[in-house]
Amino acid sequence: MNYLRHKAEDLVMDESFQQYCSGTNPLAVRFWEQWQQEYPEKKEVVRVARLLYLQLNGGLDAQVFANHHRQFTEAIQAKGIEPGRQAPAAKVIRPNGWKWYAGSVAAALTLLIGSMIWMERGAIDTAAVVDKRPVYASKAGERKSFQLPDGSKVVLNAASTLWLEEGFNSGTRKLTLEGEAFFDVAQNPSAPFVIHTEEMDITVLGTAFNVRAYKEDETNETSLINGRVRVDLRRGRQVYLKPNEKLVINVRKQPEELQTISTKRAATQKAESNYSIAPLTHFPQDSATVELSWVDNRLIFADETFEDIARKLERWYDVKIRFNADELREYRFTGNFNKETLQRVLEVMQLSRGFNFKFEDEKTVVLNP
């Protein structure tokens, strides 16, 4: 490939360059060292791109990054998660490997490059200061796994963004999440791990849990696997979760419209709140935990409306789904899919409820009665 016209943000998105920065591929390291010798005028671009790559990955140097990369790979493989697999595209199966510590989306790359260059030159214009927080982002149709500077492990679901707040791992561990992520938090009692979302703050000391906080969804959820978490809701309430429990926040309906979930704990809860607590949902065929199925690249629906499922499919396959009849939105489905194409998923769903679908193009699906 001819890299002579590549800008810094282009290099960061190149897999060979990522391997050079991380030191995980000796051939890539040798190539880029020789390339800089051959084109010395490009050394500045390489330097900026490498600084940007390390900034996006928590400021880790190559040796620490390589160790984290190896440790995290072994850890998630021990849990049965396969990082070498990726959900297929809408009509054609296009498996993309999980990109360890991949760069952010192009807009965030541009902002970070600008902020890094200004910081180095000591010429920051206070009227044009940009967001300098380290950021991890995934596009629709992809999921990413990485390790934070404190050793915590994260799997980021499609169309999600995670920001590290100022001073992360320096006496404090605060993050902001939009979307969905699974966290396996490294224990550090002196530095509580706090995740901010639009509807809640989740505080933990050492635990494994899942957070779903997409802005377009009707509910936000925190699902606890082990350990203990405290959730501070924006409406002033505080909730503690025990293992195998989830907190469901209804962000659309008013409190008087919310109905409690029929569980031992939720049965005593008044309908005046906009949240409920329930056990995690297990798929009956193989006891898979529905709330965590995406981490293992499985798509599971448990008696969900077509409207809710459509939002998941849009993020999972990077498509837009349009309903041509409102009654379809209320259809309910239960299903378990493992690395299936979108067309196959819809075909299976047709077996339980009658509807028709067509692809207007590779990115648009239309649903009809």
CATH of the domain at 352: 3.55.50.30
DSSP class per residue in 21-54: HHT--HHHHHHHHHHHHH-GGGHHHHHHHHHHHH
- Identity of the residue numbered 12: V
Helix 15-22 vs helix 43-56: crossing angle, to nearest 10 = 80
Residue range(s) defining the domain that contains residue 332: 292-368
Q: Measured between alpha carbons, how far is 235 from 201 in angstroms, rounded to an integer? A: 11
DSSP character at residue 233? E
Placement of tokens 């050492």 in the chain: 206
Residue 62 has what pLDDT?
A: 52
Residue 78 has what pLDDT?
A: 63
The reply to whether 280 falls in a domain is: no
**Residues 6+ away with beta carbon under 8 Å from 100:** 18, 22, 69, 72, 73, 83, 144, 145, 146
Average pLDDT of the segment spanning 175-195: 91
Q: Which residue has the higher pLDDT, 61 or 177?
A: 177
**Residues 6+ away with beta carbon under 8 Å from 2:** none
Given a cut of 60, is residue 118 above it in pLDDT?
no
Q: Measured between alpha carbons, how far is 174 from 326 in angstroms, rounded to an integer? A: 41
Average pLDDT of the segment spanning 37-53: 84
> What is the number of domains present in the chain?
1
Q: What mean pLDDT value characterizes the chain?
A: 76
* Kind of pairing between the strands at 193-196 and 173-184: parallel
**Residues 6+ away with beta carbon under 8 Å from 284:** none
The reply to whether 22 falls in a domain is: no
- Using an 8 Å Cβ cutoff, are 142 and 157 in contact? no
**Residues 6+ away with beta carbon under 8 Å from 70:** none
Given a cut of 70, is residue 70 above it in pLDDT?
no
The reply to whether 44 falls in a domain is: no
The reply to whether 59 falls in a domain is: no
328 phi and psi angles, rounded to 5 deg: -65, -30
Residue 110 has what pLDDT?
A: 41
- What tens digit of pLDDT does each residue of 106-117 get? 434 444 444 444
Burial of 72 (0-12, 13-18, 19+ CB in 10 A): buried
Distances (CA, A) of 6 to 13, 45, 123, 355: 10, 9, 25, 47
| CA terminus-to-terminus distance, the chain | 48
Helix (H, G, I), strand (E, B) or coil at 226: strand
- What tens digit of pLDDT does each residue of 231-273 get? 999 877 899 998 999 999 988 654 433 333 333 344 334 334 7
